[in-house]
A and B are shown apart, each in its own frame.
Chain A
Amino acid sequence: MKYMLLINAGSVEDQGCEPGEWMTFDKEVREAGVFVSGESLADLVTATAVRVGADGARTVTDGPFAETREVLGGFYVIDVPDLDVALDWAARCPGARGAGSVVVRPIADF
């Protein structure tokens, strides 16, 4: 079963932990054979939001957004047998430490 690990930094300023820890985690995920995909996202100041109104008009706004408290910094999709295994991987992720959090969401299976 596939789960997405959404890696949130605690704040915009939060730069996360050591790159070395991320490289180790990334290596572990790949070597364990559970890696499906994963990316880290560029800085929040580069974000742009698009909305389309009922009349079809497009509104484009610059991010970041004032209301954002947790900032999505990246994600992994992993394929593991059940939630407990997914939670174990989330707990090993450096993004789960400090002010950060990792939200585990099952990928919908249609």
Chain B
Amino acid sequence: MAAVFREERGRLLAALVRRFGDLDLAEEVTSEAIEAALVHWPVDGVPPRPGAWLMTTARRKAVDRLRRDQALSTRLAILRVEADRADPSPPVGVDLPDERLQLFFTCAHPALAAEDRGALMLRFLAGLTTPEVARAFLVPRETMAKRLTRAKKKIHSARIPFRVPGADELPSRLPGVLQVLYSIFTEGYAASAGPSLQRLEVAEEAIRLARILRRLLPAEREVAGLLALMLLTHARRDARTGASGELLLLDEQDRALWDRAMISEGAELAAVALTGGPPGPYGVQAAVAALHDEAVDLASTDWAQIVALYDVLMALGPSPVVAVNRAAAVAMRDGEAAGLLLLDELAEEPLLRSYHPYFVARADLLQRLGRLDEAADAYRTALSLAGSEPERAHLRRRLA
């Protein structure tokens, strides 16, 4: 039954934050309302409008709490409660108004520490508990509790607003929200440390959040692009690791294990992202992922098209990481030597010094060119930088 509340929890919390302007208060009464439901519903039956029942219960508890303990409460919240009592009728027509969009923008606010934004989203929008959020980011529970407390304090004390940016601000604020979602996804897709390469439940939370955001902002093509990119990447999850959990690259993966339903959903969304205006970076990355997913093997992949998409991506925002991917695609289109030339040009790039995929790409090309000693050197450098154990196992296997 607790799982049923995952979805409700985020909506309820967002609606309460909107009403009371206080994250702590909203969090406490949301939990209390859900606890009350767990006691009453099994006995009395699930009410016809569960969301409205939870909202009414939570609001009543908020009013009680503020009355009981005036010292704890903020003046702002008291004012909201006064207004709330004057107008106690729940909105007609919808079970629970969806105010989560405001919360997305609050959690991803640039005034918050970058590392706290994803944690806030998992806690307040995905409805994870603090220990679950801690596990998602592989940090001790106490550390995560402190970080969440610090972030909430900043939201409250600096009065970071709960609002959706206006149309003029949206282009500058939306990429921040998407970036937070994508960073949660990549933490699940390629864990930065630890025994497993993928943590599917973390990637799936990111997909779930991206689906919510897509429903809330249906006209924003980059939201479609991000969701497409996640789906087209996640579709390969079962093929990405071998029998002993080691990482398998595209050329080693059993493509029969790829999730076809997820690929077609992702491809449709990618088409949406690329239609009706200049493409954004997530839409373009989704298109690259779609080309991989739709190819039967590495050789028949449309590398020319992939190189062209990386050119678009470089034009949108030059990045050494994109340049590495582009070089690998050029190697497939024009041969290893051409790719290696491009990688060598990037050797001085400071951002790539600690980026192990750069050395993996280099090692791979050197190996295919028969320059085995240099390849082994590059693998060793990559191994000294790689994050999770399966990635390291993969590199050790290549080195051997």
A26 to B320, CA, bound (A): 43
- Chain B residues with CB under 8 A of A87: 111
- Asked if B159 and A82 sit within 8 Å, CB to CB, the answer is yes
Q: Residue A84 at the B interface, CB < 8 A?
A: yes
Proximity string of chain B (135-158) to chain A, C-beta cutoff 8 Å, 1 when within and 0 when not = 000000000000000000000011
A83 to B21, CA, bound (A): 14
- Chain B residues with CB under 8 A of A84: 160-161, 163
Q: How far is the CB of B377 from chain A (nearest CB, A)?
A: 41
- Chain B residues with CB under 8 A of A81: 159, 161
- Asked if A1 and B159 sit within 8 Å, CB to CB, the answer is yes
Q: How far is the CB of A4 from chain B (nearest CB, A)?
A: 12
Interface residues of B in 154-177 (CB under 8 A from A): 157-161, 163
- Chain B residues with CB under 8 A of A83: 109, 111, 158-161
Proximity string of chain A (70-87) to chain B, C-beta cutoff 8 Å, 1 when within and 0 when not = 000000000001111001
- Asked if B160 and A106 sit within 8 Å, CB to CB, the answer is no
**Residue in A82, A104, A106 whose beta carbon sits within 8 Å of that of B161 in the complex:** A82
- Chain A residues with CB under 8 A of B158: 83, 104, 106
Q: How far is the CB of A20 from chain B (nearest CB, A)?
A: 27
A104 to B158, CA, bound (A): 9
A82 to B161, CA, bound (A): 6
Which of A1, A84, A87, A104 neighbours the largest number of chain B CB atoms within 10 Å of its CB? A84
A-B contact count (CB 8 A): 20
- Chain B residues with CB under 8 A of A104: 158
Which of B109, B158, B161 neighbours the largest number of chain A CB atoms within 10 Å of its CB? B158
A88 to B159, CA, bound (A): 14
Interface residues of A in 86-105 (CB under 8 A from B): 87, 104
- Chain A residues with CB under 8 A of B163: 84
- Asked if A106 and B111 sit within 8 Å, CB to CB, the answer is no
> Which residue of chain A is the closest to B163 with respect to CB atoms?
A84
Q: How far is the CB of A107 from chain B (nearest CB, A)?
A: 10
Interface residues of A in 40-90 (CB under 8 A from B): 81-84, 87
A104 to B154, CA, bound (A): 12
A83 to B370, CA, bound (A): 59
- Chain A residues with CB under 8 A of B161: 81-84
Q: How far is the CB of B267 from chain A (nearest CB, A)?
A: 38
Interface residues of B in 287-321 (CB under 8 A from A): none
> Which residue of chain B is the closest to A84 with respect to CB atoms?
B161
Proximity string of chain B (326-365) to chain A, C-beta cutoff 8 Å, 1 when within and 0 when not = 0000000000000000000000000000000000000000
Q: How far is the CB of A87 from chain B (nearest CB, A)?
A: 7
- Chain B residues with CB under 8 A of A106: 157-159
Which of A1, A82, A104 neighbours the largest number of chain B CB atoms within 10 Å of its CB? A82
Proximity string of chain B (363-378) to chain A, C-beta cutoff 8 Å, 1 when within and 0 when not = 0000000000000000
A104 to B163, CA, bound (A): 20
Which of A81, A83, A87, A104 neighbours the largest number of chain B CB atoms within 10 Å of its CB? A83
> Which residue of chain A is the closest to B111 with respect to CB atoms?
A83
A37 to B159, CA, bound (A): 20
Interface residues of B in 94-147 (CB under 8 A from A): 109, 111
> Which residue of chain B is the closest to A3 with respect to CB atoms?
B158
- Chain A residues with CB under 8 A of B109: 83
A104 to B157, CA, bound (A): 12
- Asked if B157 and A82 sit within 8 Å, CB to CB, the answer is no
A83 to B112, CA, bound (A): 12
- Chain A residues with CB under 8 A of B160: 82-84
Q: How far is the CB of A106 from chain B (nearest CB, A)?
A: 5
A104 to B109, CA, bound (A): 15
Q: How far is the CB of B105 from chain A (nearest CB, A)?
A: 10
16 contacts between A and B (CB under 8 A): A81-B161, A82-B159, A82-B160, A82-B161, A83-B109, A83-B111, A83-B159, A83-B160, A83-B161, A84-B161, A84-B163, A87-B111, A104-B158, A106-B157, A106-B158, A106-B159
Which residues does B use to contact A, with CB under 8 Å?
A: 109, 111, 157-161, 163
Q: A83-B111, A83-B160 are in contact. List 4 more A-B contacts (CB 8 A).
A: A82-B160, A83-B109, A84-B161, A106-B159
